[in-house]
Structure 1
């Protein structure tokens, strides 16, 4: 897949670039993501990141997006893959540690939702870990419905699943079907 860049929505905002998982620009974010998961959960989180084949994150069923600063430096990113014929699953959402608290993760989620909707998906699913309160807060604040008891101790719940139904206009845009 050839990378494709979309200009930023605002002149000061990062540009959006569609890449493959193996694109060298994605490596620093994935490495830092693995390091953070390892620090929070122990073990080797890098193996978890390699659990899904790269093909699951490529068109027509999936994709990887990076936000790039003007200098071409990746500052945030995320991916989605096909969960079922009408549902995309968000994965690997990340903001570089030096660029957090600027709304970049919120932008990544919105861009991934838009791209998944344009590919015909009608619902988004995702999970986050119990030791990621920032991610839990992000998904709750961006309209995701928790599929777990939010009053329970997250450590007793385990993985925290969320879902969001996309507006009808989001998945009619390009007329592409998400199915095979």
Structure 2
């Protein structure tokens, strides 16, 4: 009996070459589901918004050195991080990797002092909708309505922030 390869969590800039498969597959999936070029959606925010100086982060889960899942957050407002680009490689789905990505992003956002997570997902992404409901996110829309009539589906989650990596300095 062999054990599954260990997963490694790394923080990287969008320019890291290991991020490219994430964005490429995410773009193909958006285009297939929504029937348009997804480049505009993926490039909506400048890459630097997903870095520390701007209040964001991008992380990857690596298995055997290869990216199998990832995601990011950016600053939405002073107390809120916005999740973006949550992705699991199509060959590695149904293993709980997206849950792990979300947990890691929530942990890091909380450590940076964010108290709330906000996100939206598309109406043609029922798997994402189910994932966010299953991980404790509150829908900010009528869950009984046809998702196609709503547009982007917003969710939120309040974090229990008990400590910070960089606590505020008082003078």
TM superposition score normalised by structure 1: 0.88
Aligned to 1:74: 67
Do 2:111 and 2:161's aligned partners in 1 also have CA atoms closer than 8 Å? Answer: no
In 1: Cα distance, 2:39 partner to 2:86 partner: 14
Q: What is the SS of the residue equivalent to 2:32?
A: helix
The correspondence of residues 82-121 of structure 1 with structure 2, limited to 5 A, is 82-121=75-114
Measured in 1, the distance between the counterparts of 2:14 and 2:165 equals 24
- Contact 1:35–1:46 (8 Å) recurs in 2: no
Name structure 2 gaps, 5 residues minimum. Answer: none
Which residue of 2 is the match for residue 62 of structure 1? 56
**Structure 1 residue ranges without an equivalent (≥5):** 1-10
Instruction: Name 1:8's counterpart in structure 2.
Output: none
Give deviations 1:114-155, integer Å, cap 9, x for gaps: 011111100000000000000000000000000000000111
Q: Is the 8 A contact 1:78 1:94 kept in 2?
A: yes
TM-score by length of 2: 0.93
Q: Is the 8 A contact 1:129 1:159 kept in 2?
A: yes
Provide the alpha-carbon RMSD of the alignment.
1.2
Give the number of equivalent residue pairs.
164
Runs of 4+ in structure 1 deviating by more than 6 angstroms, as ranges, are none
CA distance in 2, matches of 1:149, 1:162: 11
Distance 1:81 1:15 in 2: 22
